[in-house]
Structures are given as C-alpha cells and as structure tokens.
Amino acid sequence: MRKKTFPVSVAAAALVLGGVVAAPTAVAAESVGTPAAQAAEHGCSPHRQSTISRGSSGAAVTHAQCLLNYWGYDVGSVDGIFGSRTENQVRNFQRDRRLSVDGIVGANTWAELHY
C-alpha cells in the first residue's frame, strides 16, 4: 500500500526543528524562495542573527554553517562550532561577494547569506 503524502509549506517546514515544533518567528516566516527558506527545507533552522566569529558556538553558528553549505562553501560538519574551517569558508564567501574579508559573520555577511 502506498503512503499518502501531503504538501507542507516552507514556513511550516521551517518551524519543525528536530521533531520539536518551534514558535513562529519573523525569521521562520521568510519568503518562499529565499536561500534561508530553501536552506530550512534542508534542515537549517532559522535563527536571529548575532555577530559570530572563530570561537563562537551555538544556534547562530549552526545556521551560518548551514547557509554556507547551501551556497557551496563546504564547512564540513554542521556542528555549531565556529572553527578554522568555518572561518576560512566565511572568508571565501566574503571575498566572492565583494564584502570586507574579516572572517566574521556580522550584519553585511548575514545579509548576503540570506540574499
């Protein structure tokens, strides 16, 4: 017997994080088709952006790593730890996007990651 499948909106899919339903946020309700929304379809959880750099850890780092992978900048494991590999890929991303290359994910880099 074939399983029935039901379409799920990107916004609804973005709200399910590891089997836990999160409260809706402005970030989770991003426009369909944005990289952040598309990355959410691949397991990237939405997160409010704070400035992160080498040595940072947590949900913001996980989100940045997920988006970097989405854009083709291989950070390796999406582990929420901002190490040398993540920093190098942030620098590559910044260089390719003609941003100030400092390896820090601040407002301008977040904006490009979500473009």
| pLDDT tens-digit series, residues 44-96 | 766 667 899 999 999 999 999 999 999 999 999 999 999 999 999 999 999 99
Cβ contacts of 36-45, under 8 Å, gap ≥ 24: 36/67, 36/113, 36/114, 37/10, 37/11, 38/10, 38/70, 39/66, 39/67, 39/70, 40/10, 40/13, 40/14, 41/10, 41/13, 41/14, 42/66, 42/70, 44/70, 44/78, 45/14, 45/17, 45/18
The total number of structural domains in the chain stands at 1
pLDDT at 47: 63
- Is residue 1 one of the residues assigned to a domain? no
Task: Find the domain containing 16 and state its range.
Answer: 10-113
Q: In angstroms, rounded to a whole number, what is the distance separating the alpha carbons of residues 55 and 32? A: 32
Q: State what percent of residues in the chain have pLDDT above 70.
A: 59
| pLDDT band with cut points at 50, 70 and 90 for residue 6 | very low
**Residue 4 within a domain:** no
Is the whole model's pTM more than 0.85, yes or no? no
- Domain-located, residue 69: yes
Residue 5 lies in a domain: no
Could you tell me if residue 17 is inside a domain? yes
In a domain, 3, yes or no: no
57 within some domain: yes
Provide the pLDDT for residue 49: 76
67 occurs within a structural domain? yes
CATH of the domain at 67: 1.10.101.10
